[in-house]
Chain A
Amino acid sequence: MTDANMSKSGAVPVPRKSLLQPDARTKRRNSAEARFRAYGLAAVGIGVLALVMLLVSIVGTGSGAFKQTYLTIPVHLNEAKLDKKGDRELANLKKVTTIGYAGVLKTSLNDFLAQEGIEIDGLSDKDAGKIISKEAAATVRNAVLADPDLIGTTQDFTLLANGRIDGYYKGRVTMDSAELDGNVTPEQLMLADALKERGLLKTKFNWAFLIAPDASDQRPEAAGLGVAILGSIYMMLTVLILAPVIGVAASIYLEEFAPKNRWTDIIEVNISNLAAVPSIVFGILGLAIFINFAGMRASAPIVGGLVLTLMTLPTIIIATRAALKAVPPSIRDAGLGLGASKMQSVMHHVLPLAAPGILTGTIIGLAQALGETAPLLLIGMVAFVREYPAAWSPESGLFGEPSTALPVQVFNWTQRADPAFVERASGAIIVLLIFLVAMNAVAVMLRRRFERRW
Chain B
Amino acid sequence: MNDMRIMERDVDVNEIKIAARGCQVYYADTHAIKDVDVDIEDKTVTAFIGPSGCGKSTFLRCLNRMNDTIDICRVEGEIRLDGEDIYDPKVDPVQLRAKVGMVFQKPNPFPKSIYDNIAYGPRIHGMAKTKADLDIIVEKSLRRGAIWDEVKDRLDAPGTGLSGGQQQRLCIARAVATEPEVLLMDEPCSALDPIATAQVEELIDELRSQYSVVIVTHSMQQAARVSQKTAFFHLGNLVEFGETGQIFTNPVDPRTESYITGRIG
Interface residues of A (CB under 8 A from B): 259-260, 328, 330-341, 344, 348-349, 352-353, 453-454
Contact indicator B124/A332 (Cβ below 8 Å): no
Contact indicator A339/B71 (Cβ below 8 Å): no
Considering the complex, which residues of chain B in the window 103-138 have a beta carbon less than 8 Å from any beta carbon of chain A? 103-104, 106, 108-112, 120-121, 124-125
Whether B64 is near chain A, meaning CB under 8 Å from some CB there, is: yes
Contact indicator A454/B111 (Cβ below 8 Å): yes
Contact indicator B111/A333 (Cβ below 8 Å): no
Chain B nearest CB from A137 CB (Å) reads 65
Contact indicator B110/A339 (Cβ below 8 Å): no
Contact indicator A336/B101 (Cβ below 8 Å): no
Contact indicator A338/B71 (Cβ below 8 Å): no
* Chain A residues whose CB sits within 8 angstroms of the CB of B101 once the complex forms: 337-339
Q: In the complex the two chains form, what is the Cα distance from A259 to B102 in whole Å?
A: 25
Chain B nearest CB from A246 CB (Å) reads 25
For B99, the closest partner residue in chain A by CB is A339
Q: In the complex the two chains form, what is the Cα distance from A349 to B66 in whole Å?
A: 17
Interface residues of B (CB under 8 A from A): 64, 66, 69, 71, 94-99, 101-104, 106, 108-112, 120-121, 124-125, 158, 160, 171, 174-175, 178
Contact indicator A330/B174 (Cβ below 8 Å): no
Q: In the complex the two chains form, what is the Cα distance from A339 to B103 in whole Å?
A: 12
* Chain B residues whose CB sits within 8 angstroms of the CB of A336 once the complex forms: 66, 69, 97
* Chain B residues whose CB sits within 8 angstroms of the CB of A348 once the complex forms: 120, 124
Chain A nearest CB from B100 CB (Å) reads 9
Q: Can you list 5 A-B pairs with a CB-CB distance of less than 8 A?
A: A259-B71, A331-B110, A336-B66, A337-B64, A338-B120
Q: In the complex the two chains form, what is the Cα distance from A331 to B174 in whole Å?
A: 13
For A330, the closest partner residue in chain B by CB is B108
Contact indicator B121/A339 (Cβ below 8 Å): yes
For B110, the closest partner residue in chain A by CB is A349
Chain A nearest CB from B230 CB (Å) reads 24
Q: In the complex the two chains form, what is the Cα distance from A212 to B109 in whole Å?
A: 56
Contact indicator B108/A334 (Cβ below 8 Å): yes
For B122, the closest partner residue in chain A by CB is A338
For B111, the closest partner residue in chain A by CB is A454
Contact indicator A340/B94 (Cβ below 8 Å): yes
The 9 A-B residue pairs whose C-beta atoms are closest, nearest first, are A339-B98, A337-B102, A330-B108, A339-B97, A338-B121, A454-B111, A334-B108, A341-B94, A454-B158
* B175 CB contact (under 8 Å) in A260, A337, A349: A337
Take A333-B104, A334-B110, A454-B158 as given contacts and tell me if A339 and B125 are in contact as well, using a CB distance cutoff of 8 Å.
yes
Chain A nearest CB from B137 CB (Å) reads 13
* Chain B residues whose CB sits within 8 angstroms of the CB of A353 once the complex forms: 111
Apart from A334-B110, A339-B178, A454-B112, list 13 A-B contacts with CB within 8 A. Answer: A330-B106, A331-B108, A331-B111, A333-B102, A335-B120, A338-B175, A339-B96, A339-B99, A339-B101, A339-B124, A344-B124, A349-B110, A352-B111
Chain B nearest CB from A326 CB (Å) reads 13
Q: In the complex the two chains form, what is the Cα distance from A349 to B174 in whole Å?
A: 15
* Chain A residues whose CB sits within 8 angstroms of the CB of B158 once the complex forms: 453-454
* Chain B residues whose CB sits within 8 angstroms of the CB of A338 once the complex forms: 97-98, 101, 120-121, 124, 174-175, 178
Chain B nearest CB from A454 CB (Å) reads 4
